[in-house]
A = this chain, B = another copy of it.
């Protein structure tokens, strides 16, 4: 019998160093909203996305055809015109342009994953496409939940659980975090929006009037792209 590849789930950036990323596929997950935004920008025609850690680093990229976007604490950072709302990045805004993005959680995780064989960008928007890609690659996987300021969060864990559930026959998942994430997802079932309404990040974001963003970020399989981070630290779809 052929040995199956394994899935691990990392519930917080603080726990990522406990896992070996080498020779693995890392899927970075920041449902509200960085990875949903990156998927949307690329789906709507962005050339590529550059994830950066600081607003200073972001500003260095100033130039024609480049959109500088920064989010801190759920809002557009001071001095920036663009933030972390996926709904900002319509084809009219982003087509053929480059997006340079820094966010509170997700972009940091993309940089932390450096050294893995493949670094993919996961969101409910491209759930099926990510699952298919993981089957094709057939390598050990880390589902890396960005969380909120290093804390566990519900929406990223639910996405990780969805992936584990969809790959349960093709991969092993012998770690407690993967088991728990899958249980949470399976018991949530069709009520994703209702459960996420309990989450602390929903409470935080809804104060900023972005419930439309959240509804959008929880819509499933609206695009079949799988963004990946290349060696030049650019996120592309091909």
Interface set of A (CB-CB < 8 Å, partner B): 11-12, 14-15, 18, 148-154, 157, 174-177, 179-180, 183-184, 187, 198-201, 203
In the complex, A175 Cα to B179 Cα: how many Å? 20
Closest B residue, CB atoms, query A154: B176
Closest B residue, CB atoms, query A198: B179
A174-B203, A179-B199 known; A15 and B18 CB under 8 Å?
A: no
In the complex, A34 Cα to B201 Cα: how many Å? 34
Q: Contacting A177 at CB < 8 Å: which of B18, B152, B174, B176?
A: B152
- A180 neighbours in B (Cβ, 8 Å): 152, 154, 157, 180, 184
- A174 neighbours in B (Cβ, 8 Å): 200, 203
Task: Indicate if the CB atoms of A150 and B200 lie closer than 8 Å.
Answer: no
Looking at chain A's contact residues, the main secondary structure is: helix
Whole-angstrom distance between the Cβ of A176 and the nearest chain B Cβ: 4
- A175 neighbours in B (Cβ, 8 Å): 151, 200
Whole-angstrom distance between the Cβ of A201 and the nearest chain B Cβ: 8
In the complex, A187 Cα to B187 Cα: how many Å? 7
Closest B residue, CB atoms, query A150: B18
Whole-angstrom distance between the Cβ of A172 and the nearest chain B Cβ: 12
